[in-house]
Amino acid sequence: MLDLICARVHNSLSNKNIQLNHLYQIFKTFFNPKITKKPSTHFDTNPIYLFYLHTKAPFHVHLNSPPMAKTRTTRKTLDSYTIKSTNKIIKPGDCVLMRPAHSSKPSYVAKVEKIESDARGGNVKIESDARGGNVKVLARWYYRPEESIGGRRQFHGSKEVFLSDHRDLQSADTIEGKCTVHSFKSYTKLDAVGNDDYFCRFEYNSVTGAFVPDRVAVYCKCEMPYNPDDLMVQCDGCADWFHPACIEMTPEEAKQMEHFYCGNCSTEEQKLLQNAHATSRHTDTKVGTKRRRRNQT
């Protein structure tokens, strides 16, 4: 509208087809040029024309109408929120699974840092356990290894996630359920890993791709960090752990061994003892022994 009016004024002045009283009403209605005189018939003294020459461009003109008032939304902090699909209650500090952008992708993992509700109109009753409504959560995202800058590596576990510095305000309706993100030490001690169990041993900077801590203990001849999904055998001499493939052993052979000595620790007598136990003991008794979890700090 502003461009259209200024264009009409410009065309009228350019064509010298000026109806000053009509232009005066237009400016008086839409602008605030502070015109107090009736328009004169001379270009050099006419206040409308002088104002036009002074502004030059329509974007320099100030509107006469006051600015529109912004709609303010009052946010209330909630103590908890009930997931509609499961009726489970979440609170700040809980970890949740959130609906992904594409159905082909796995659920996002996030930590809820805050729960808010929009009290529109100022008359919305806020309860400690909110259901539905316009509820939002401040989510701190966990990244999967493949979502990080460096990508997934051999030592990353299938249930491993990184606590990032990336935060978003999301609708609570996108929450699919609760989950548990364990510390690395707690995860390795689980008797059974459920679908909703994850573990985290790194914090991740989503901009720089840096990890905290920037290094962890490594094991085996390959000098890789421990992947809790992989079977490893422990040397009875030095207590280091080894991947069966790195010591030219199959997983089945590793499960059958009661004693194991690495190349640096083994003697001829220990090798004989190791081989004797591997052939004399029943397979089932070795599986539980060699699948014991390592203690991590």
Report domain extents, the chain.
2-60, 74-204, 233-290
pLDDT given at position 125: 40
**Whole-model pTM above 0.85?**
no
| 3-state DSSP assignment of residue 271 | helix
Q: Is 224 exposed, middle or buried (0-12, 13-18, 19+ CB in 10 A)?
A: middle
Cα(160)–Cα(202) distance, integer angstroms: 9
pLDDT given at position 288: 35
Q: What six digits make up the tokens of 231?
A: 């079977």
pLDDT given at position 8: 54
Can you name the CATH fold of 74-204? SH3 type barrels. (2.30.30)
Can you name the CATH fold of 233-290? Herpes Virus-1 (3.30.40)
pLDDT given at position 289: 33
pLDDT given at position 85: 84
Spell out the alpha helix ranges (H) of 31-156.
47-55
* Helix (H), strand (E) counts: the chain: 7, 14
Q: 197-200 and 175-183: which strand pairing?
A: parallel
Cα(198)–Cα(161) distance, integer angstroms: 7
pLDDT given at position 131: 47
pLDDT given at position 84: 85
pLDDT tens, the chain, 297 aa long: 545 555 555 555 554 444 555 555 555 555 554 444 444 444 445 555 555 545 544 434 444 455 666 666 677 899 999 998 889 999 999 999 999 989 899 999 999 999 999 765 333 344 444 444 589 999 999 999 999 999 999 999 999 999 999 999 999 999 999 999 999 999 999 999 999 999 999 999 999 999 999 889 999 999 999 999 999 999 988 899 999 999 988 999 888 888 888 888 876 555 566 565 555 444 443 333 333 334 443
Return the closest-CA partner of residue 144 out of 97, 86, 189. Answer: 97
Strands (DSSP E) found in 74-123: 74-77, 80-82, 89-90, 95-98, 108-119
pLDDT given at position 225: 93
Return the closest-CA partner of residue 12 out of 35, 39, 32, 38. Answer: 39
Q: Is 98 exposed, middle or buried (0-12, 13-18, 19+ CB in 10 A)?
A: buried
Work out the end-to-end distance of the chain between its first and last CA atoms, rounded to an integer number of angstroms: 68
The answer to whether domain 74-204 and domain 233-290 are alike in fold is no
Cα(262)–Cα(241) distance, integer angstroms: 9
pLDDT given at position 281: 44
